[in-house]
Amino acid sequence: MGLSYENGIESEPLFDPNILKALDFSKSKVIFDPPISVIDPGENLKVRPLCSGDYDRGYLKLLSFLTKVGDISRKQFLDRFHAMSSCKGMHYITVIEDTVSGQIIGSATLAVEQKFIHDAGFRGRLEDVVVSDEYRGRQLGKLLVETIRLLAEHVGCYKITLDCRDRMVKFYKQLGFQLEEGNSNFMTVRFQD
Protein backbone atom coordinates (compact mmCIF):
# COMPACT_ATOMS: atom_id res chain seq x y z
CA MET A 1 0.00 0.00 0.00
CA GLY A 2 1.72 3.16 -1.20
CA LEU A 3 0.84 6.77 -0.55
CA SER A 4 -0.89 8.24 -3.55
CA TYR A 5 0.73 11.64 -3.20
CA GLU A 6 3.89 11.16 -5.15
CA ASN A 7 3.22 13.04 -8.37
CA GLY A 8 5.38 16.12 -7.93
CA ILE A 9 6.81 18.39 -5.30
CA GLU A 10 3.41 19.14 -3.79
CA SER A 11 3.30 15.60 -2.45
CA GLU A 12 6.47 15.64 -0.38
CA PRO A 13 5.89 13.97 3.00
CA LEU A 14 7.29 15.57 6.17
CA PHE A 15 8.91 12.25 7.13
CA ASP A 16 9.29 8.74 5.76
CA PRO A 17 5.79 7.15 5.56
CA ASN A 18 7.34 3.71 6.16
CA ILE A 19 8.00 4.69 9.79
CA LEU A 20 4.25 4.80 10.42
CA LYS A 21 3.69 1.48 8.67
CA ALA A 22 6.38 -0.12 10.86
CA LEU A 23 4.53 0.67 14.11
CA ASP A 24 3.52 -2.52 15.90
CA PHE A 25 -0.07 -2.11 17.06
CA SER A 26 -0.02 -5.68 18.39
CA LYS A 27 2.17 -4.26 21.21
CA SER A 28 -0.45 -1.67 22.05
CA LYS A 29 -2.21 -1.95 25.40
CA VAL A 30 -4.99 0.32 24.20
CA ILE A 31 -8.17 -1.47 23.21
CA PHE A 32 -9.87 -0.38 20.03
CA ASP A 33 -13.42 -1.64 19.54
CA PRO A 34 -13.87 -2.21 16.66
CA PRO A 35 -10.15 -2.81 16.05
CA ILE A 36 -8.42 -0.07 14.05
CA SER A 37 -4.75 0.80 13.47
CA VAL A 38 -2.50 3.01 11.36
CA ILE A 39 -2.78 0.54 8.49
CA ASP A 40 -6.55 0.24 8.80
CA PRO A 41 -7.99 3.38 10.47
CA GLY A 42 -11.52 2.96 9.13
CA GLU A 43 -13.44 3.20 5.87
CA ASN A 44 -12.14 5.82 3.44
CA LEU A 45 -9.53 7.04 5.91
CA LYS A 46 -5.74 7.08 5.61
CA VAL A 47 -3.11 7.81 8.29
CA ARG A 48 0.05 9.36 6.87
CA PRO A 49 2.68 12.06 7.44
CA LEU A 50 1.69 15.66 6.78
CA CYS A 51 2.49 16.43 3.13
CA SER A 52 3.46 19.72 1.53
CA GLY A 53 0.24 19.62 -0.50
CA ASP A 54 -1.92 19.61 2.61
CA TYR A 55 -2.14 23.40 2.52
CA ASP A 56 -4.88 22.75 -0.06
CA ARG A 57 -6.50 19.93 1.91
CA GLY A 58 -7.86 21.90 4.85
CA TYR A 59 -4.98 21.27 7.24
CA LEU A 60 -4.85 24.81 8.63
CA LYS A 61 -8.65 24.97 8.99
CA LEU A 62 -8.46 21.75 11.03
CA LEU A 63 -5.81 23.29 13.31
CA SER A 64 -8.06 26.31 13.82
CA PHE A 65 -10.48 24.04 15.76
CA LEU A 66 -7.65 23.70 18.28
CA THR A 67 -6.41 27.28 18.72
CA LYS A 68 -5.53 30.47 16.89
CA VAL A 69 -3.81 29.80 13.57
CA GLY A 70 -3.90 33.15 11.72
CA ASP A 71 -3.76 33.90 8.01
CA ILE A 72 -0.85 31.79 6.78
CA SER A 73 0.09 32.16 3.11
CA ARG A 74 1.12 29.20 0.95
CA LYS A 75 4.70 30.48 1.00
CA GLN A 76 4.73 30.72 4.81
CA PHE A 77 3.32 27.21 5.05
CA LEU A 78 5.90 25.75 2.65
CA ASP A 79 8.78 27.66 4.27
CA ARG A 80 7.83 26.26 7.68
CA PHE A 81 7.23 22.78 6.23
CA HIS A 82 10.70 22.74 4.70
CA ALA A 83 12.34 24.16 7.84
CA MET A 84 10.77 21.25 9.73
CA SER A 85 11.73 18.59 7.20
CA SER A 86 15.32 19.84 7.04
CA CYS A 87 15.71 19.10 10.78
CA LYS A 88 15.66 15.33 10.39
CA GLY A 89 13.93 13.27 13.05
CA MET A 90 12.42 16.15 15.01
CA HIS A 91 8.95 16.79 13.57
CA TYR A 92 6.51 13.96 13.05
CA ILE A 93 3.18 15.58 12.19
CA THR A 94 0.80 12.69 11.50
CA VAL A 95 -2.55 13.30 9.85
CA ILE A 96 -5.71 11.44 8.89
CA GLU A 97 -7.10 12.09 5.43
CA ASP A 98 -10.63 11.39 4.28
CA THR A 99 -9.80 9.83 0.90
CA VAL A 100 -13.27 10.62 -0.48
CA SER A 101 -13.31 14.34 0.32
CA GLY A 102 -9.55 14.67 0.07
CA GLN A 103 -9.57 16.69 3.32
CA ILE A 104 -7.36 16.36 6.41
CA ILE A 105 -9.70 15.52 9.29
CA GLY A 106 -7.29 14.66 12.11
CA SER A 107 -3.76 15.51 13.19
CA ALA A 108 -1.29 14.96 16.03
CA THR A 109 2.38 15.83 16.37
CA LEU A 110 5.38 14.10 17.87
CA ALA A 111 7.91 16.86 18.54
CA VAL A 112 11.34 15.47 19.45
CA GLU A 113 13.88 17.40 21.52
CA GLN A 114 17.54 16.41 21.32
CA LYS A 115 19.23 16.20 24.71
CA PHE A 116 22.65 15.58 26.23
CA ILE A 117 21.09 13.99 29.33
CA HIS A 118 19.88 10.36 29.22
CA ASP A 119 22.80 9.17 27.05
CA ALA A 120 22.34 12.04 24.61
CA GLY A 121 18.73 10.92 24.36
CA PHE A 122 15.57 12.11 22.70
CA ARG A 123 12.58 13.44 24.58
CA GLY A 124 9.23 13.22 22.85
CA ARG A 125 6.24 15.52 23.18
CA LEU A 126 2.71 14.90 22.05
CA GLU A 127 1.35 18.16 20.65
CA ASP A 128 -1.66 19.57 18.84
CA VAL A 129 -4.06 16.63 18.81
CA VAL A 130 -7.21 17.47 16.85
CA VAL A 131 -10.01 15.58 15.11
CA SER A 132 -12.77 17.25 13.11
CA ASP A 133 -16.12 17.22 14.97
CA GLU A 134 -17.85 15.33 12.16
CA TYR A 135 -15.57 12.35 12.73
CA ARG A 136 -16.18 11.98 16.49
CA GLY A 137 -17.03 8.51 17.81
CA ARG A 138 -14.69 6.73 15.41
CA GLN A 139 -11.82 6.37 17.95
CA LEU A 140 -9.64 8.64 15.83
CA GLY A 141 -8.31 10.77 18.71
CA LYS A 142 -7.34 7.59 20.52
CA LEU A 143 -5.77 6.23 17.34
CA LEU A 144 -3.70 9.38 16.81
CA VAL A 145 -2.47 9.44 20.43
CA GLU A 146 -1.53 5.75 20.39
CA THR A 147 0.19 6.21 17.02
CA ILE A 148 2.31 9.05 18.40
CA ARG A 149 3.12 7.05 21.57
CA LEU A 150 4.28 4.04 19.54
CA LEU A 151 6.17 6.37 17.20
CA ALA A 152 8.02 8.00 20.13
CA GLU A 153 9.11 4.58 21.38
CA HIS A 154 10.02 3.48 17.83
CA VAL A 155 12.31 6.46 17.20
CA GLY A 156 14.05 5.93 20.55
CA CYS A 157 12.61 8.55 22.89
CA TYR A 158 13.29 7.83 26.57
CA LYS A 159 9.93 9.38 27.42
CA ILE A 160 7.00 11.23 25.94
CA THR A 161 5.06 13.92 27.75
CA LEU A 162 2.08 16.12 27.03
CA ASP A 163 0.66 19.30 28.48
CA CYS A 164 -2.93 18.70 29.44
CA ARG A 165 -6.07 20.53 30.53
CA ASP A 166 -7.86 19.18 33.61
CA ARG A 167 -10.78 17.97 31.52
CA MET A 168 -8.51 15.82 29.32
CA VAL A 169 -6.59 14.08 32.13
CA LYS A 170 -8.98 11.10 32.26
CA PHE A 171 -8.75 10.53 28.50
CA TYR A 172 -4.96 10.46 28.51
CA LYS A 173 -4.81 8.26 31.63
CA GLN A 174 -6.72 5.61 29.71
CA LEU A 175 -4.01 5.81 27.06
CA GLY A 176 -1.14 5.19 29.51
CA PHE A 177 -0.08 8.74 30.35
CA GLN A 178 0.45 9.42 34.05
CA LEU A 179 0.47 12.38 36.39
CA GLU A 180 3.68 11.60 38.27
CA GLU A 181 3.57 12.25 42.02
CA GLY A 182 5.16 15.61 42.79
CA ASN A 183 6.20 16.15 39.18
CA SER A 184 3.25 17.00 37.01
CA ASN A 185 3.00 20.80 36.85
CA PHE A 186 3.62 22.86 33.78
CA MET A 187 4.00 26.60 34.06
CA THR A 188 3.67 29.26 31.40
CA VAL A 189 4.77 32.76 30.44
CA ARG A 190 2.78 34.18 27.51
CA PHE A 191 4.27 36.85 25.28
CA GLN A 192 1.28 36.98 22.91
CA ASP A 193 -2.37 35.95 23.17
Binding site for a copy of itself (CB under 8 A): 59-60, 63, 66-72, 76-77, 79-80, 83-84, 86-87, 90-91, 111, 113-121, 125, 127-128, 149, 152-153, 157-167, 169, 172-173, 176-180, 182-192
- Looking at the Cβ atoms of 42 and 128, the one nearer to a copy of itself is 128
Query: Hey, what amino acid is at 126?
Result: L
Q: State the nearest-atom distance from the C-beta of 70 to a copy of itself, in Å.
A: 4
- Looking at the Cβ atoms of 106 and 138, the one nearer to a copy of itself is 106
φ, ψ (nearest 5 deg) of residue 145? -65, -45
- Looking at the Cβ atoms of 42 and 155, the one nearer to a copy of itself is 155
Q: State the nearest-atom distance from the C-beta of 8 to a copy of itself, in Å.
A: 22
Measure the CA–CA gap between 43 and 126, rounded to whole angstroms.
26
- Looking at the Cβ atoms of 119 and 133, the one nearer to a copy of itself is 119
Measure the CA–CA gap between 111 and 193, rounded to whole angstroms.
22
- Looking at the Cβ atoms of 138 and 160, the one nearer to a copy of itself is 160
Measure the CA–CA gap between 144 and 41, rounded to whole angstroms.
10
Strands 103-114 and 122-131: antiparallel
Q: Which are the contacts of 134, defined by CB distance < 8 A and separation ≥ 6?
A: 105
Q: State the nearest-atom distance from the C-beta of 113 to a copy of itself, in Å.
A: 5
Q: State the nearest-atom distance from the C-beta of 59 to a copy of itself, in Å.
A: 8
| Secondary structure (H, E, C), 7-63 | CCHHHCECCCHHHHHCCCHHHCCCCCCCCCCCCCCCCCEEEEECEHHHHHHCHHHHH
Q: State the nearest-atom distance from the C-beta of 22 to a copy of itself, in Å.
A: 16
